[in-house]
Amino acid sequence: MRPVTRDRRKLIGEFAGNIRSTVFNGRPNTELETLVGELGGQIRSLPTDNTMAFERVVKAEDGSFIIYLDDTCPPTRRLFSIAHELGHLFLHMRYGDAQWEAIPVGAGYERAPNVFTPVETDANVFASAFLMPEEDFRAAAEKHFDGTRFYNAVEVAKHFGVSVQAAAIRGKDLGIWR
Ligand SMILES: [Zn+2]
């Protein structure tokens, strides 16, 4: 498996930041589901009786997209999943570009558990940068620093509506903590 290089991480982070500025600027992450509708997409629930159904994004018959989510997941995971699927949509399916038109209806990306591929890593990097823009993240970290040694990652995570683990990874990527 190809490792995600620092350069690639940076490029994807910048791309995610640009998408956020273009379509979501200045709005809180709690409005992410609203944004999906504004982009022309839909969010649907996975059937609870089908264990073979995974969270995914697919091209819809009308040329838009559908994100399927597991409703049993906690809100932090749900938010990250939506951003992850938007990562596939913009990075790998080029929603809004000419390449999107060439994608067949029903095609997409699914999140099978314990499957690690470069595209899945890309989508996670996108989600992380999209939900926690660098400038906002640095400000939140500064606000929740004890002044001497410790950052309160729990409070930083709450600020963005993400899991503590997701905030910890973002802080590490940005070199704020180790
Ligand atoms: Zn994925």
Give me ligand 1 centre to Cα 86, in Å.
9
How close is the Cα of 112 to the center of ligand 1, in Å?
8
Q: From the CA of 148, how far away is ligand 1's center (Å)?
A: 38
Which chain residues have CB less than 5 Å from ligand 1, an ion?
109, 111, 120, 123
- pTM of this prediction? 0.93
Q: What is the mean pLDDT of each run of 10 residues along the chain (178 residues)?
A: 75 96 94 98 88 88 96 95 97 95 96 84 96 97 93 97 97 93
CATH topology of domain 6-131: Arc Repressor Mutant, subunit A (1.10.10)
Find the angle CA(49)-CA(51)-CA(54) to the nearest 5 degrees: 115
**Separation of alpha carbons 36 and 99, rounded Å:** 20
Residue 79 and residue 162 in contact, taking contact as beta carbons nearer than 8 Å? yes
- Residue 116 has a pLDDT of 82
Can you tell me the distance from the alpha carbon of 171 to that of 178, in angstroms, rounded to the nearest whole number? 8
Q: Which of 125, 38, 40, 42 is nearest to 83 (CA)?
A: 125
Domain ranges of the chain: 6-131, 133-178
